[in-house]
Chain A
């Protein structure tokens, strides 16, 4: 699948340019937010500031939307625009929104309504926005897309299955293009759950190569891709394949292994199974935070490397196990990238990114 456009919203700002700048800058300390109920206790989190968004016209039709939907719509819009496809038929664009946890913050707002005002006093607006597919709905209405619109959730593999489905839709000619992406939102309850079930990095620094113990810093944001089988317009690179439950054998060697370690598993040693000494390893979660669908953001980093033929240094280089980390000072001819994800059941999934060539096999 060719990647025509990308859109990113994360703590480092809105837009691919901001994301690229953050990748070049390296690790930045996240925001510290007050923990409810605990006086003077703060916790780190990579949060999106929508007040700084310049594309406010998009929000005109989304005045009642929650942050989850706004982040998704912003990223999807950028992916469509950067696709640079003139005269694209919006009846033939599909939308797939992948999310691990969905609109949980708005769901809790809705529960606030029940607790504060009783069952008959809840807000219909909050309820409408708490439905998982609200973001996909806003994307289609704001961008005028009339193709099929879908929201899926499979926790850690949500983005992977969404990509796999996008490919199926294109191959069946259900759509000419698919806007496929991931979105997650931070909320205090989610922060509490993560802090209780996992270990939070007190200094705000995710150390992706520590593996065990693993430390998380919650993140939020959205990453979208405009994909198709067409060879016209802007092309960043390709989603070459998506594999579950093990590697596939390809004729092209893997140049880089981007791993999704971000502290969302309490023990991430399982990733060691897929690390070899001959393939350099990178992880960019310290840029955008820990998210179930963080794979989408790591893929975005990989796609930019393929497009620009540049290596972005690992933002955090702590390497107690001495693995072969990506050396940004070294020149790599990057053609093929493997993005590796494990879930809490020890199952794995891989996304393979490939540099665009006029005829992609």
Chain B
């Protein structure tokens, strides 16, 4: 479906191991800087490199609610960028955020206490019940529009942005805060470790010798709004959210469909929604986790849809896999790259894999075009794609 409404991207906010805001992040991407190291946030026996946010700004610190703290950093930056500050209660603002960790009551000490003694302090429960990402932020901002937390595993952030697009196109709100947030947490660290898909080296998306993913943490948030809303506020933007598509592999809980059935469908849906063809995509910010299966399937699909000459990259080499945040963070990167006119080197990639008919860029690369695509493949077989656009403002 082609929509006549332009949904503008008027604000961007991001925090990850690559930087505490967008300008710091762009420096890291430009310089090809990686800041992974051992886990410092909690004691663990698992020796995997991770991408932690090194210094969460004090004013955002909430005890036991790191995901929410990360989300607040990105939301604040995105709102400032969108010139949305002060009392927002009169505006119809939707909040749609993806996460994995913040949706679970997974406090190990709470559970240990219950298990050992049959009693446990309620503080972690209170934090959990008050910490629903979208609900908390919506209430904090007195947002007045719909609020929804998406828990769709690794595509949560992308799906959240896509839902915001639906809300805006259906008139449920005028402005939406959308993206994702996730903290580095023991449960996914142990879980992904048990699945044998984490690398003990720095991740190398799409590389022949890739050994798996590195976990990361962060948040990425976009402020998206109808053109009419922006005009009413006296602002405009060169960036817009053109389309979103999503489809299920209908195949397996943990493995992608070998031919990338759902991913291809989601990309085609996103392109169709945007009213553009594959040739109009200037670059793709791929999911590119650096697991053998993900990258092989994704690479084949991208080559099939866009041709082997496509400019593409994975930014997981800068941030690690931030799970529910990944789609939000990567949508912010994609928007920023469209505006900047360059994409960073797909860091970690050195050797081409002959089983993948496409290779990411090895160095910072200029891009020329109006549209870009960001993809997410989720545990559980859901796939999602966003098309972001840039236009010249006269």
Contacts and interface: CB of A to CB of B under 8 A. Distances in A.
A324 interface: no
B382 A132 contact: no
A147 B122 CA distance: 40
Interface stretch (B29-37, B49-57, B112-120, B230-238): B112-120
A114 B108 contact: yes
Contact of A155 (B132, B153, B163, B246): B132
B141 interface: no
Contacts of B252: 141
B118 A36 contact: yes
9 contacts: A107-B104, A114-B186, A119-B186, A132-B103, A133-B151, A149-B246, A150-B152, A153-B151, A155-B129
Describe B's contact surface by its main secondary structure. Answer: mixed
Contact of B250 (A37, A127, A141, A153): A141
Interface string A282-306: 0000000000000000000000000
A57 B66 CA distance: 43
A201 B247 CA distance: 44
Given A134-B253, A137-B381, A144-B250, A120 B104 contact: no
Which of under 10, 10 to 19, 20 to 34, or 35 or more describes the interface residues of A?
35 or more
Nearest to A347: B139
A131 B153 CA distance: 7
Contact of A197 (B125, B186, B261): B125
Which of under 10, 10 to 19, 20 to 34, or 35 or more describes the interface residues of B?
35 or more
Contact of B187 (A110, A144, A147, A196): A110
Interface stretch (B76-84, B188-196, B280-288, B303-311): B188-196
B148 A120 contact: no
A173 interface: yes
Contact of B190 (A127, A154, A171, A244): A127
Nearest to B187: A110
Contacts of B134: 154
Interface of B: 1, 3, 44-46, 100, 103-106, 108, 111-112, 114-115, 117-120, 122, 125, 129, 132, 134-135, 139, 144, 146-153, 159, 163, 166-167, 169-170, 172, 186-187, 189-196, 245-254, 261-262, 265-266, 269, 378-382, 384
Contacts of A146: 247-250, 261-262, 265
B188 to A, nearest CB: 8
Given A122-B191, A148-B248, A197-B125, A168 B170 contact: yes
Given A114-B186, A127-B194, A154-B132, A165 B250 contact: no
A146 B265 CA distance: 9
Given A147-B248, A150-B246, A154-B132, A124 B191 contact: yes
A345 to B, nearest CB: 7
A91 interface: yes
A64 B144 CA distance: 42
B253 A128 contact: yes
Contacts of B106: 107, 110-111
Given A123-B194, A146-B262, A172-B170, 14 more contacts: A90-B250, A102-B151, A110-B191, A111-B106, A118-B45, A119-B44, A120-B190, A137-B382, A146-B250, A147-B248, A149-B246, A154-B134, A169-B166, A245-B144
Interface string A21-38: 000000000000000111
A223 interface: no
A134 B147 contact: no
